[in-house]
């Protein structure tokens, strides 16, 4: 008999929404899909979340041996940090992961090292817990349009870059629902009013790509889903009704309007401010105003202070992701630099210095996931990377943008102004 637990809700069509406990209540979700006594988990939360997932599995009346699939939507640690521990508890399950993320769950050492270098090992342990590896023999890499079978219930994998290049979503024909990770945005239940829900784009670092995100979002919207299952947070529409597809279509139009507003904010800020730190401050302020205006439209009773408190981490991370995107875009159109650039952090640096610093900070494996070019993935070395980057301008621009992001994160860590790990490309 299905029942609701203190941290989960049994939805229709055998879907359970599970609050993973990451950061706060109603912030980060994983999902259990049950079909004729077999089960699949979609997203896992962190290492700390696994006891909750297993408790919900028991509440659903499903044996651990009957779980066939574990499907992280991407390898950011708030979505996939619990994959290894969960797989260790499910002896017959296979892990389905995007091909650009598979190696990081087979060997998560680079993910852990990258997060620890920025946030500190203690903070990573507090927020994420232990990140265990998954045996390569149990990993299945997804492909766009690939279907996996759950007791006769097809689950289709869709390649959806834009938030991260290692992101896929899951289409469930049975519920006409999409498990969307971060591609379909964020929507927190605290902002729901009788006028509806609020959906906002996620632009977190380091792979935010506006054209790719728009294409992926529109592709999902074209399926005319009756519902979406968001990691942040829950089912939309929250309460099922006869016009759910139309409700989601309107939310989708609002999302795209906001994405346009965010892009316009970035372009205005980039044109007006060249200093990276000053630009970040302006992006934070601009995002606050965009979000506050959207919340006000719903005529809720949350104060300005409460709205900004709930969105504090998202605003900071979304601004960081926009900064990385703008740094890469600026490199494509920038004129030759003048001889003296005292405020340009790249001035006077050789490309070799930049690559060496990135390798020391991220390691080759994570660097290859963040910027998936052959010289970072196949038998990587500084010498071969320099040869490729010097004749490939677009790749060099990505490398320089990632270096600027790394510098800013390291400075913040040194000032002890740490954001919780998990929501970035770490």
Q: Summarize pLDDT for 155-203 with one digit per residue, the tens.
A: 999 999 999 999 999 999 999 999 999 999 999 999 999 888 999 999 9
CB-CB neighbours of 295 under 10 Å:
22
Backbone angles phi, psi at 58, to 5 degrees: -65, -40
Tell me the per-residue pLDDT of 31-45, one tens digit each, with 9 for 90 and over.
999 999 999 999 999
In total, the chain counts a number of residues equal to 426
CA distance 208 to 258: 15
Backbone angles phi, psi at 179, to 5 degrees: -95, 110
Tell me the per-residue pLDDT of 354-367, one tens digit each, with 9 for 90 and over.
888 888 788 887 88
pLDDT at 145 over 90: yes
Question: Average pLDDT over the chain, rounded to whole?
Answer: 88
CA 343 to chain centre: 31
Backbone angles phi, psi at 129, to 5 degrees: 85, -160
Helices (H) and strands (E) in the chain, counts: 14, 13
Tell me the per-residue pLDDT of 251-268, one tens digit each, with 9 for 90 and over.
999 999 999 999 999 999
pLDDT at 336 over 60: no
* Range with top average pLDDT, 78-87, 107-116, 338-347, 375-384: 78-87
Closest CA to 76 of 53, 108, 122, 51: 108
pLDDT at 417 over 50: no
């Amino acid at each position: 008999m299905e029942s609701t637990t203190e941290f989960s809700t049994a939805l229709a069509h055998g879907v359970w929404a599970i609050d993973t406990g990451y950061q706060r209540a109603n912030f980060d979700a994983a999902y259990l899909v049950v079909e004729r006594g077999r089960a699949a988990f979609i997203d896992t939360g962190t290492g700390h979340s696994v006891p909750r997932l297993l408790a919900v599995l028991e509440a659903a009346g499903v044996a651990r041996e009957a779980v066939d699939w574990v499907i992280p939507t991407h390898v950011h640690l708030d979505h996939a940090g619990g994959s290894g521990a969960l797989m260790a508890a499910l002896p017959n399950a296979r892990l389905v992961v995007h091909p650009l993320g598979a190696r990081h769950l087979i060997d998560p050492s680079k993910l852990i090292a990258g997060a620890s270098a920025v946030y500190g090992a203690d903070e990573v342990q507090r927020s994420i817990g232990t990140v265990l590896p998954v045996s390569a023999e149990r990993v299945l890499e997804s492909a766009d349009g690939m279907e996996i079978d759950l007791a006769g219930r097809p689950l289709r994998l869709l390649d959806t870059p834009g938030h991260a290049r290692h992101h896929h979503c899951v289409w469930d024909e049975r519920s006409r629902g999409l498990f969307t990770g971060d591609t379909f945005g964020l929507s927190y239940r605290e902002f729901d009013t009788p006028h509806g829900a609020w959906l906002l784009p996620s632009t977190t670092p380091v792979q935010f790509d506006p054209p790719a995100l728009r294409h992926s979002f529109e592709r999902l919207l074209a399926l005319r889903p009756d519902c979406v299952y968001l990691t942040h947070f829950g089912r939309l529409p929250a309460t099922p009704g006869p016009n759910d597809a139309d409700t989601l279509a309107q939310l989708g139009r609002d999302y795209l309007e906001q994405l346009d507003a965010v892009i316009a904010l970035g372009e205005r800020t980039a044109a007006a401010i060249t200093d990276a730190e000053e630009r970040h401050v302006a992006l934070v302020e601009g995002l606050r105003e965009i979000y506050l205006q959207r919340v006000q439209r719903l005529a809720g009773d949350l104060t300005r202070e409460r709205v900004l408190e709930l969105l504090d981490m998202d605003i900071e991370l979304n601004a960081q992701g926009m900064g990385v995107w703008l740094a890469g875009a600026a490199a494509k159109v920038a004129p030759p630099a003048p001889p003296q650039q005292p405020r340009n952090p790249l001035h006077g640096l050789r490309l070799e210095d930049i690559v060496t610093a990135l390798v020391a900070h991220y390691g080759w494996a994570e660097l290859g996931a963040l910027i998936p070019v052959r010289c970072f993935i196949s038998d990587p070395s500084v010498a071969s990377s320099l040869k490729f980057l010097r004749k490939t301008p677009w790749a060099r621009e990505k490398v320089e943008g990632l270096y600027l992001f790394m510098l800013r994160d390291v400075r913040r860590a040194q000032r002890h102004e740490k954001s919780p790990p998990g929501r970035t490309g770490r």
